[in-house]
Homo-oligomer: A and B are copies of this chain.
Amino acid sequence: MEIGKSIRIKDIAKLAGVSVGTVDRVLHNRGRVSEDALQKVTTVMNQIDYKPNLIARTLGSNKNYRIAALIPDPTLDPYWAQSNLGIIQAQTEWAQYGVIVDTFPFDLYNKDSFHRIARAVVEEHPDGILIAPIFYHESIPAFELFQEAEIPYVLFNTNIHEAKPIGFIGQNLNQSGRIGAQLMMLGQHDPATFAVLHIDEDVHDSVHLLEKEKGFRDYFQEKSKAKFEIVDFNLNPHQEAFKTQMIQLLENDMLKGIYVSTSKGTALAAAALEDHGKKDIRMIGYDILSENLKYLRSGTVDFLINQNPKRQALLGISHLVNHLMFKKSTPPMDLFPLEIITQQNVDSYLGSGIH
């Protein structure tokens, strides 16, 4: 019994009564095909389910693809260091198949740098671009450059609706905040105050953060627990006032929980909380960064919502490779699961390879 005998181009050619060359031209619509031949091939194609052998395709079209990754400098920020790990993994994984990934780091706090690097990327005319467009307004002209140069690009981490990428990889931010709220509310019977901490050095990706914070507040409003009060804090850790503001916040006796919308801010707020020595405050933050991990282990942080930066980047590259090399269509939006991390399951996340 013949098994797994899939249809080859040669088979289609025979069925249609043409040569493989003609079938090839039809499949890739390279033109130079008569109306008659095209008809014959498409008829066959409609009857059978042709799935090109991707293995053979990659081997046959022995091409090199260059992908540029446009992300904030990973050496300056632990979150983006994680993203970079994903890029490096993708790089080594695809290296032997002629895919090379170049990272173009820009300064997280410098919009001009973003602009400059974006232009540099286009000048290298790579075959594809992975981009974390954390600067909302500045990214629009970058996308225009990409489109002009006809370079396909994939967004990750931050979605920009005006951009027309081949795909976006990230999370539902509103829902992310709602989970924070749900976890915050769990088992809270008495009237209490919860703080939403917007900790950021700059306002650059505030849209990103505001969306989460809105989700958090929305959830409380929907559940209409009037007994809960939500207070907002806009903090800049570089400012002198940061420490005193935190102390002021923590001295509120009604404070029963803190939600921080940034991964970096999580560690900062946790440090302040641990210094203050108040133990009965539930704290929810973002991402399994080593700093945050410390506070999760010590019990200061109760929950981390994992944004999975490493996997986001890894998948971003994969989508580009699929698009370029395998000509496979990729989902226009790949929303990652909103992973809830606690002291008790964090190791299961660290231990497992990819997930």
Contacts and interface: CB of A to CB of B under 8 A. Distances in A.
Contact of A334 (B98, B175, B343, B353): B353
B4 A344 contact: no
B186 A347 contact: no
Interface stretch (A56-64, A78-86, A111-119, A241-249): A56-64
Given A51-B96, A96-B51, A98-B3, A175 B336 contact: no
Nearest to A60: B59
A342 B188 contact: no
A239 interface: no
Contacts of A98: 3-4
A347 B179 CA distance: 11
Interface in A44-67: 51, 53, 55-56, 58-59, 64, 66
Contact of A172 (B64, B171, B335, B348): B348
Number of copies: 2
Contact of A175 (B66, B99, B348, B352): B348
30 contacts: A3-B64, A3-B66, A3-B98, A3-B100, A4-B64, A4-B96, A4-B99, A51-B96, A53-B59, A53-B97, A59-B59, A171-B348, A175-B344, A179-B345, A181-B344, A182-B343, A182-B344, A186-B187, A187-B188, A187-B282, A219-B344, A335-B348, A335-B351, A336-B355, A337-B345, A337-B352, A338-B345, A339-B340, A340-B342, A340-B345
Interface of A: 3-4, 6, 51, 53, 55-56, 58-59, 64, 66, 95-100, 171-172, 175, 178-179, 181-183, 186-188, 219, 282, 302, 331, 334-340, 342-345, 347-349, 351-353, 355
